[in-house]
Structure 1
Amino acid sequence: MTAATLNTSKPRWSAASGSNRTRSLWLAGLFVLLALFVFLSVTVGTRDVAWADVAAALGGAQDTIGRAAVALRIPRTLLALIAGGALGLAGAIMQGVTRNPLADPGILGVNMGASLAVVVGVAWFGMSSVYAYIWTAIVGAGCAAIFVYAIGSLGRGGATPLKLALAGAATSVAFASLVIAIVLPRGDIAGGIHSWQIGGVGGATYERLVPVLPFLLAGFAISLLSARKLNSLALGDELAAGLGENVAVARAVASLGAILLCGGTTAVCGPIVFLGLVVPHVCRLVVGVDHRWLLPFSALGGACLLLAADVLGRIVARPAEIDVGIVTALIGAPFFIWIVRRQRVRDL
């Protein structure tokens, strides 16, 4: 019996070890892909820049047009890197908290809640401070998340994935209508608000990026530390509670991390949709459902996708540009339809 036990346990250990090795290889490959997109983001644009100009710009030189272009692209690249990672991670957190395959900061109305709060602050209270933008967006994102979850919890069966998706979609439409109603009579702010509403990373500066970093870093830390709790929640509330997990606290802490990420990103970039839906699904196909692997993969995958979307938006419309919010929507909408068909509505 001892020999049999040893013989049956060894393959399991080997399979787990092999799986972790495979995930590590995928992770290394993702880092290489991220480095490639960072390089393309710095060098590709309306003007092609040589590597010598890139190196000179990194050294602080701005005495040629090429070097000046690179100097402008570096903060843009950093913003796309951080915002993409934040949205990818927030999407994975929301899918884990709600156990909803359709969860996404855009679909659940969280981004639009942050957007509405910022628009109200600008139009009615003359808000102009960067920190005011950030705090207002975070509060708006949190209120929208609570509102959607409360609406989705009404009725028989509680907060089912389908009810949450429908409540989030309805909330997003309602908030978008309110934004239009607020901005329409305000011609003095309409242009800037409409441009910001599309969602993009163009025009990024260090002055815009630095104030939001503490909020995003806190969101990253809280979210990544919630991985084990999300694994427990995936087993179901009753089983998670039986394992000693405080279900309400686990959900609240993980949600706080996602809200910080969504609110901070929306304040700087505007609402960027579908990225938080696409990335976790693709990463789940690669690394499985273990959130200890899924969360970092989603963050890196989100950064890669947003950088790639930004580079693509610069190429396809030269000498003009297409904002990343439009590119991610064009990618995400068909993916959303595929998920709905794959999951089947009655199973959600």
Structure 2
Amino acid sequence: MRRRTLGLALLLVLLAVISVLSLAVGAKPIPLADVWHVLLHRDGTDDSIVVWERRIPRTLLGIAVGAALGLAGALMQALSRNPLADPGLLGVNAGAAAAVGAAGLFWPLTSTETTVWFAFLGAGIAATLVYTLGRGGMTGKANPVQLILAGMAVTAVLASFTAATSLIDTDSADRLRFWVVGSLAVAQPGELQLILPFLLAGAVVGLAISGRMDALALGDDAGRALGTHPERTRALAIIAITVLCGAATSVAGPITFIGLMVPHAVRLFTGPNQRWILPLSMLCAPVILLASDIVGRVAAPPGELEAGVVTAFLGAPVFIALVRRRGVVAQ
């Protein structure tokens, strides 16, 4: 208990520190004293405009997207009983990209709000298709292996479709090229308000079933003996993952490896208890995402690297280490 409390306090402090740094660091560095001043006095100066109109929306979106991806990753690993699982296995990212690519063939996606809805719709359709195939039909019962195999198949098909739309429409290819990398750089003030209801709904469902996920980890028979309905719990977990990842992906693109890395870092403090893993993953993921975004801002001046590129650089070595670690799949 003491170790978990220490981890919670450490993550809260790190999140506060990294949020302040996110307001100060960038192509135009702003001293921390000036950041504090413009937060208290929105006076219309250049620093005030940069902080209020660009960096505050970007930071808040990073916190929201990171929390969603962290919780979704922890849920996916608990659902599949596989610590190498990632939320993208449900086809959410591929579905969002395919929907945006297809919509670009028929409509000029000039506004972020329009892109968000198409991406969210595609994510939902893809996850529904994966769940239906994983159940072997509407009356069947899914298991983690079936869901993962179905997710891989649907993801492959949708990725091919997205590539085809890019070849057909070069303008669509230009839009997708930036979006599929995953970035917080295009954050707008209204985007967080648009996805916040979905993020809150997904978080409420995900946290509400945390105790049931512990029972589900013991297997379906043991879960039933402990009073848990495995199929219902699995369906609720998939709904939460889809809503969380769909909302996050729709505004920031498919940022990879956050959902894979974060639960492992959290388990160092919590052990296998999902009641702690899920909420602490919501705190840890924004720290990593904002830190990656900050590194990307200063890594390649005068431009910047997208956060998705930085998280991939961080996540790939972690993934390789996990694969090489003996017995990791049995955790």
Distance (whole Å) between structure 1 residues aligned to residue 166 and residue 41 of structure 2:
40
The one-letter amino acid paired with 1:141 is A
Query: What SS does the corresponding residue of 2:266 show, helix, strand or coil?
Result: helix
- Over aligned residues, Cα RMSD in angstroms? 2.5
Distance (whole Å) between structure 1 residues aligned to residue 236 and residue 197 of structure 2:
17
Residue number in structure 1 paired with 2:254: 271
Distance (whole Å) between structure 2 residues aligned to residue 61 and residue 243 of structure 1:
55
Distance (whole Å) between structure 2 residues aligned to residue 335 and residue 164 of structure 1:
24
Distance (whole Å) between structure 2 residues aligned to residue 51 and residue 209 of structure 1:
25
Residue number in structure 2 paired with 1:230: 213
Residues 1-348 of structure 1 aligned to structure 2 (within 5 Å): 20-59=1-40, 61-71=42-52, 72-126=54-108, 133-148=115-130, 159=143, 161=145, 168-343=151-326
- Offset, 1:139: 3.7
Residue number in structure 2 paired with 1:4: none
Distance (whole Å) between structure 2 residues aligned to residue 166 and residue 291 of structure 1:
24
The one-letter amino acid paired with 2:47 is G
Which range is displaced more, 328-337 or 296-305?
Answer: 328-337
Task: Mark the CA change 1:33 to 1:346 in structure 2 (over 3 Å): closer, same or farther.
Answer: closer
TM-score by length of 1: 0.85
- Offset, 1:238: 0.5
Distance (whole Å) between structure 1 residues aligned to residue 81 and residue 135 of structure 2:
14
Which range is displaced more, 281-290 or 27-36?
Answer: 281-290
Q: Is the contact between residue 122 and residue 128 of structure 1 (CA under 8 Å) also seen in structure 2?
A: no
The one-letter amino acid paired with 2:234 is R
Which range is displaced more, 245-254 or 84-93?
Answer: 245-254
Q: Is the contact between residue 220 and residue 257 of structure 1 (CA under 8 Å) also seen in structure 2?
A: yes
Q: Is the contact between residue 37 and residue 308 of structure 1 (CA under 8 Å) also seen in structure 2?
A: yes
Distance (whole Å) between structure 2 residues aligned to residue 151 and residue 338 of structure 1:
31
Distance (whole Å) between structure 2 residues aligned to residue 103 and residue 346 of structure 1:
9
Distance (whole Å) between structure 2 residues aligned to residue 216 and residue 25 of structure 1:
26
Per-residue deviation, residues 245-290 of structure 1 (Å, max 9, x unmatched): 1111111112111111000011101111111001011111221111
Task: Mark the CA change 1:346 to 1:38 in structure 2 (over 3 Å): closer, same or farther.
Answer: closer
Task: Mark the CA change 1:80 to 1:346 in structure 2 (over 3 Å): closer, same or farther.
Answer: closer
Distance (whole Å) between structure 2 residues aligned to residue 164 and residue 327 of structure 1:
29
Task: Mark the CA change 1:131 to 1:222 in structure 2 (over 3 Å): closer, same or farther.
Answer: farther
Q: Paired residues, what number? A: 326
Which range is displaced more, 173-182 or 258-267?
Answer: 173-182
Distance (whole Å) between structure 2 residues aligned to residue 309 and residue 129 of structure 1:
26
Query: What SS does the corresponding residue of 2:44 show, helix, strand or coil?
Result: coil
Distance (whole Å) between structure 1 residues aligned to residue 326 and residue 130 of structure 2:
22
The one-letter amino acid paired with 2:31 is A
Which range is displaced more, 172-181 or 26-35?
Answer: 172-181
- Offset, 1:346: 8.7
- Offset, 1:345: 8.9
- Offset, 1:148: 4.1
Bigger CA radius of gyration: 1
Q: Is the contact between residue 93 and residue 246 of structure 2 (CA under 8 Å) also seen in structure 1?
A: yes
Q: Is the contact between residue 134 and residue 263 of structure 1 (CA under 8 Å) also seen in structure 2?
A: no
Which range is displaced more, 142-151 or 263-272?
Answer: 142-151
The one-letter amino acid paired with 1:80 is G
- Offset, 1:172: 3.2
Unaligned runs of 5+ in 1: 1-19
Which range is displaced more, 106-115 or 85-94?
Answer: 106-115
Residue number in structure 2 paired with 1:11: none
